[in-house]
Structure 1
């Protein structure tokens, strides 16, 4: 099959995204951040424990992502490369899957034709998703399976939407907070726009499709139960007698309350990209106040490495305007409805969790809000570029170019390892 220019560019972006994720993945040569939980959990899954049996001992989350990390260690060794390589693969796969999701949303909309490549570029060099693509943590696997589920959910044939169920189940089985992303999408497919005749005129009305939503919810729940049973009671040695007890054990962590925890955030602080958490080290003989570190080794040569855990400013700063814009357009536009329901639904979910449980909330939970934001920004820019084609103006072309340049500069400023 002959590749057109768009596909060539898409392949190029994906390959570049893979390269920057893979480069010097063995730095640092020690565990950082929450790797101190997930790598030992992966070792236990491989049977490296006192009992000598494959068992998931980290019961605060479902087992799938930890098992994927363990697979990387099985094939590539118990070393920094083996710890992190599966995250690199998953983070790289997010890039083309996100492109496919954007294409499916933009299908039949000429004004949105540029959006898939724009969205693909943005997600490739978004700093928070990039961070999770280079460390042995579970979040990027959750995002990958979730996006794959979204792709099938957006199919125009209701029967094929059921193919999203196993991917949503896999997303949940990587990290349970996936439910906050999945539930708003059930609302999206429940609201269906149909045309009806009224006094000789055709008008569009909204109807609620409970049947298809119920089928998808049931299929997702069933897939989750079956897959979880296979993972933890067939492949592994279970730590709990049944799924119900296992779920209750997992959700018991919601009662954790530790306001003094390092990096703990209030949700309103997300809009200011705060507080930042860091994992950094300097060259021998250099003294640095790590609380003042705001850029990586490319701009600060004193640093041996620096993982600064925060989303791209180019995504955070327009967050509220973009979300509100799509909220006002959601009644008349299905794409706007998808973006608005996704963002506001996920955000409302986090507000509920934080109010009810007062558990630990961190800035990196913004990761769940990033996909609809990137889609929203890419659709706005694409529509403006399409309108501008009919004129001699290059204003929006310049704005788009500047935005992508700033997005890239933000990425390079936080790149975690030096080039040499």
Structure 2
């Protein structure tokens, strides 16, 4: 058996450091609360005092992390946002190592990670105190751990599987929208094991299906419930062991209530086409007109759709578990929104899917024979140009006047 290739730790570290620098640069702009920070920073402030429940429609972990940032760095822009930038860097590194585990080559891993860095959705969510960035970080790292479990020797497979289960439980502890991913992980495990049985594969050596699925479910649920620990110490209306499970129903009712129409609402099927991006900010603040538009990098968001289709086609044709899995992850991440009982949808719900597009692009453009290498380089170059083009309205840079936004509005449906 050939010795395993050494892990490209220095390359991953360099990409991660560059990502963290980019995400942190001018993170204090704007100095006011940005978009949904008004909800989550306020809830984090209340959580720090343990006065009582706030923002009960969402679990507690994301707000606890914002509260931790405030505790460490102060009740200011850095405290509200810096841990979000760390979460985004974790997403970049998670994508790098997922692609390394799947392909064992530096090139696709680096391409995928760089596309994540250059994707506007990741950049914007890295610089705002919202829940979605933390959820995505735990989700990507959980996927990485489960994938490592698939390729690990029997004595280490269980260790990675349990870690992945914990991380997915933490993702749900930030937002419930990560819960279906636990079911998808179990389904993927069964499908790959069935493929192994027919073709002599060697994924998840030494792990039997029933114990593996039971561990995934039990560990993730227990981890999720433990994220409510601070609520047991509220001065007002604290949770108790007997009220913890009924409280989940209260949260469900909050999540599914019918809300009034919103200016930026959109349907799930429009998100892949990027029909309705969202202004997180567009006003005179800090002495200048500034804007923050949640918009993906067009090269990633639209090119990624072609890449997903290719991964599904090539995966089926070649019987490639890897390509089919990458394409299916994106499909599943979007399909859940067709059945989740939410009265309103918003483009930022597409955030995890926009990350999976980077995986699909890196996989679709990978050519170990080297004949098509210019395509992956070109994808990064085009993405970099578009990132620089949109940077002023991703980063809250000073704009010349209130009409400056028109420069970036390619379509009438863009706000």
The answer to whether the superposition gives a TM-score over 0.5 is: yes
CA contact (8 A) 2:307 2:357 kept: yes
Match in the other structure for 1:376: 360
Matches within 5 A, 1:183-262: 183-191=183-191, 192=193, 193-195=195-197, 209-225=209-225, 227-234=226-233, 239-241=238-240, 242-258=243-259, 260-262=261-263
RMSD (Å) for aligned C-alpha atoms? 2.9
Give SS of 1:414's match.
Answer: helix
In 1, Cα distance between equivalents of 2:390 and 2:72: 30
Give SS of 1:307's match.
Answer: strand
In 2, Cα distance between equivalents of 1:307 and 1:121: 21
Match in the other structure for 2:320: 333
* 121 and 180 in structure 1: CA distance in 2 versus 1, 3 angstrom threshold: same
CA contact (8 A) 1:102 1:375 kept: yes
CA contact (8 A) 2:308 2:361 kept: no
TM, length-normalised to structure 1 = 0.81
Residue 128 (structure 2) pairs with residue 138 (structure 1): no
Matches within 5 A, 1:13-412: 13-47=15-49, 53-107=50-104, 113-154=106-147, 155-156=149-150, 157=154, 158-160=157-159, 161-191=161-191, 192=193, 193-195=195-197, 209-225=209-225, 227-234=226-233, 239-241=238-240, 242-258=243-259, 260-278=261-279, 279-282=281-284, 304-331=289-316, 332-353=319-340, 357-383=341-367, 386-389=368-371, 396-412=372-388
CA contact (8 A) 1:55 1:236 kept: yes
Quote the offset at 1:401 in angstroms. Answer: 2.5
Give CA deviations for 1:274-302 in whole Å, capped at 9, x if unaligned.
212111234799xxxxxxxxxxxxxxxxx
Give CA deviations for 1:99-139 in whole Å, capped at 9, x if unaligned.
122211224xxxx5421111111111211011111001111
Unmatched tracts of structure 1, length 5 or more: 48-52, 197-201, 286-302, 390-395
In 2, Cα distance between equivalents of 1:133 and 1:236: 33
Quote the offset at 1:203 in angstroms. Answer: 7.1
Quote the offset at 1:325 in angstroms. Answer: 2.5
In 2, Cα distance between equivalents of 1:263 and 1:229: 31
Quote the offset at 1:205 in angstroms. Answer: 12
Give CA deviations for 1:155-185 in whole Å, capped at 9, x if unaligned.
1344231221111111111111111333222
* 56 and 103 in structure 1: CA distance in 2 versus 1, 3 angstrom threshold: farther
In 2, Cα distance between equivalents of 1:337 and 1:400: 20
CA contact (8 A) 2:310 2:364 kept: no
Which of residues 397, 400, 403 in structure 2 aligns to 1:418? 397
Unmatched tracts of structure 2, length 5 or more: 1-5, 400-415
Number of residue pairs aligned between Structure 1 and Structure 2 = 374
Quote the offset at 1:232 in angstroms. Answer: 2.5
CA contact (8 A) 2:323 2:363 kept: no
In 1, Cα distance between equivalents of 2:211 and 2:43: 40
In 2, Cα distance between equivalents of 1:68 and 1:406: 35
In 2, Cα distance between equivalents of 1:204 and 1:83: 46
Give SS of 1:33's match.
Answer: coil
Match in the other structure for 2:3: none
CA contact (8 A) 2:166 2:223 kept: yes
Quote the offset at 1:236 in angstroms. Answer: 8.3
Which one has the bigger helix percentage?
2
* 98 and 238 in structure 1: CA distance in 2 versus 1, 3 angstrom threshold: farther
